[in-house]
Chain A
């Protein structure tokens, strides 16, 4: 069978994007933009095999305690609900700084993550604690809005004092093969962020394949993402280890090619300490200890913090804990 060029171009994977001629300046490094249709293909069986090994490490006693404290310090405590009120956000910000006062000396979480309308409230509440305020934007979670609305959304959050912006990509456009559209959109939002760090949410639950996850990661990083993030938390499956592993590999390759370090944020579905520790093991073994700080790695979660706290208290007291004795928000 002979394929005509027109036929090949109708299949998303063959739609050529000529980025080769473009040169992108990021910081002081200059690098060329690759052809995203040529992003590496992912061996799903191989990924599953590798990931299952991260889950078999035995982490006990002091190492476990260190890991738990580290995980706690990497959490973006999140509330992203239609029913959020300033009161709820204030309560969460207090919790972010006072995780479990019964046990002194615990770290705080890394950041609180809220909707743009709550940024001003959150900013005021966490003042002086070192906790950052992250805001979702670009018509989160669907991202189905025109670019100017997304830019206004982002500008509003930045002006209100957000330290970090969590944007969503246009998954519909991505799946239609319009990679240049997705790239340009991310680049435009990055410009709007100013000093705020940009996290790009791929919403991997909607990207269907690991090949797509890898390609979307590459697009986001070349377009200027400071962090890539798995999910909004509104779609299942969210941050599976397979997906996170694929994105970590993309980050590693990007660093090797350009010298630029990009952060990782799995979000959604990481609800217990065991999973969090597995993730930390994976980051350490794929990227190295350089990434093991909250500057480069975050957990997006709402219920993880309490489980980690319960594990810490279990390790301290030797007694299994009950959620009755830990604050809900």
Chain B
């Protein structure tokens, strides 16, 4: 007798767990051939709320970890992704990519994680420093993570946009709530499974599937979200994010680029989601101020 295949239920990822959406709704995106990709959770604003609570709870522990350890964990995500390459390639193909393109996308995603893993314990040396001031102060600046970052993931790719946006955010020590690509959601949840088995503490990354339009407002107006990272070229969406962000002066970061580009990575993606803190430390300087520190 023929065996009935067991299909995977794609659920969302909040606080290190895989619940169904609180709303109980789902949608069935299709690929270009008209094949259904699966029944995907249509998350609601309450899922956004729960995800932000989980992200806030995880932020303290994650940001206080040794930067070196964060680097190890990012590297581990890369390792786990490498081990599950085949599954991602299959999903990308189901969502319409050619085999060659799918293979390339997964390879770039892994390399990107390794790239940001290396940055974790180097960000503060490279981006911070001691400032020369003309008074009796030891004056220095360091970058610190912002807190909870809302990520509106690239809607045109399933994996590479997601990874390229999440990696710098968590490398900086932030936690995040991610809205996955609405029509290409498969890789986002499989990536959540990778995160779940990579020593990333629950709540550091939370991934929601569903409608960007529906979830953007509760996320961008949320007083406990400190920044929004948006990829896309829709001027109207960008406008509304900027309006929503006003109430608690969220940082809005807009990246319109193609994430497959090898140059779509760099230190500034990390420092963009950090705040520069400058400290004026009084020192005794009997000889008067000098031009250096």
Whether A322 is near chain B, meaning CB under 8 Å from some CB there, is: yes
Q: Which residues of A contact B137 (CB under 8 A)?
A: none
Q: Which residues of A contact B218 (CB under 8 A)?
A: 320
A307-329 vs B, CB cutoff 8 Å, 1 = contact: the mask equals 00000000000111111110000
Cα–Cα, bound, A319→B248 (Å): 11
Interface residues on B, range: 10 to 19
Task: Flag if B247 contacts A319 (CB, 8 Å).
Answer: yes
Residue of B nearest to A321 (CB): B223
Residue of A nearest to B45 (CB): A320
Q: Which residues of B contact A320 (CB under 8 A)?
A: 48-49, 52, 218, 221-224
Residue of B nearest to A325 (CB): B223
Cα–Cα, bound, A323→B248 (Å): 12
Residue of B nearest to A318 (CB): B221
Most buried by B among A318, A324, A325: A324
A231-257 vs B, CB cutoff 8 Å, 1 = contact: the mask equals 000000000000000000000000000
Cα–Cα, bound, A325→B248 (Å): 10
Interface residues on A, range: under 10
Task: Flag if B224 contacts A319 (CB, 8 Å).
Answer: no
How many A-B residue pairs have C-beta atoms within 8 angstroms? Tell me.
25
Q: What is the distance, in angstroms, from B164's C-beta to the closest C-beta of chain A?
A: 27
Task: Flag if B222 contacts A324 (CB, 8 Å).
Answer: no
Q: Which residues of B contact A325 (CB under 8 A)?
A: 223, 248
CB-contacts of B205-253 with A (<8 A): 218, 221-224, 247-248
Cα–Cα, bound, A35→B222 (Å): 57
CB-contacts of B62-107 with A (<8 A): none
Cα–Cα, bound, A321→B49 (Å): 10
Cα–Cα, bound, A82→B56 (Å): 29
Q: What is the distance, in angstroms, from B162's C-beta to the closest C-beta of chain A?
A: 24
Q: What is the distance, in angstroms, from A321's C-beta to the closest C-beta of chain B?
A: 5
Cα–Cα, bound, A26→B186 (Å): 70
Q: Which residues of B contact A319 (CB under 8 A)?
A: 221-223, 247
Q: Which residues of B contact A323 (CB under 8 A)?
A: 224
Q: What is the distance, in angstroms, from A103's C-beta to the closest C-beta of chain B?
A: 14
Cα–Cα, bound, A321→B53 (Å): 10
Q: Which residues of B contact A321 (CB under 8 A)?
A: 223-224
Q: What is the distance, in angstroms, from A328's C-beta to the closest C-beta of chain B?
A: 15
Cα–Cα, bound, A322→B248 (Å): 10
Task: Flag if B221 contacts A322 (CB, 8 Å).
Answer: no
Cα–Cα, bound, A321→B52 (Å): 11
Cα–Cα, bound, A318→B221 (Å): 9
Q: What is the distance, in angstroms, from A56's C-beta to the closest C-beta of chain B?
A: 15
CB-contacts of B182-224 with A (<8 A): 218, 221-224
Q: Which residues of A contact B52 (CB under 8 A)?
A: 320
Q: Which residues of B contact A324 (CB under 8 A)?
A: 223-224
Cα–Cα, bound, A116→B75 (Å): 55
Cα–Cα, bound, A108→B215 (Å): 35
Q: Which residues of A contact B248 (CB under 8 A)?
A: 322, 325
Q: What is the distance, in angstroms, from A319's C-beta to the closest C-beta of chain B?
A: 5
Residue of A nearest to B222 (CB): A320
Cα–Cα, bound, A153→B48 (Å): 50
Q: What is the distance, in angstroms, from A121's C-beta to the closest C-beta of chain B?
A: 32
Q: What is the distance, in angstroms, from A313's C-beta to the closest C-beta of chain B?
A: 9
Q: Which residues of A contact B223 (CB under 8 A)?
A: 319-322, 324-325
Most buried by B among A318, A322, A323: A322
Residue of B nearest to A313 (CB): B223
Cα–Cα, bound, A120→B229 (Å): 53
Most buried by B among A318, A319, A320: A320
Question: Besides the contacts A319-B247, A320-B52, what 18 more A-B pairs have beta carbons closer than 8 Å?
Answer: A318-B221, A319-B221, A319-B222, A319-B223, A320-B49, A320-B221, A320-B222, A320-B223, A321-B223, A321-B224, A322-B56, A322-B222, A322-B223, A322-B248, A324-B223, A324-B224, A325-B223, A325-B248
A residues apposed to B, CB below 8 Å: 318-325
5 A–B contacts from the bound complex (CB under 8 Å): A319-B223, A319-B247, A320-B49, A320-B52, A324-B224
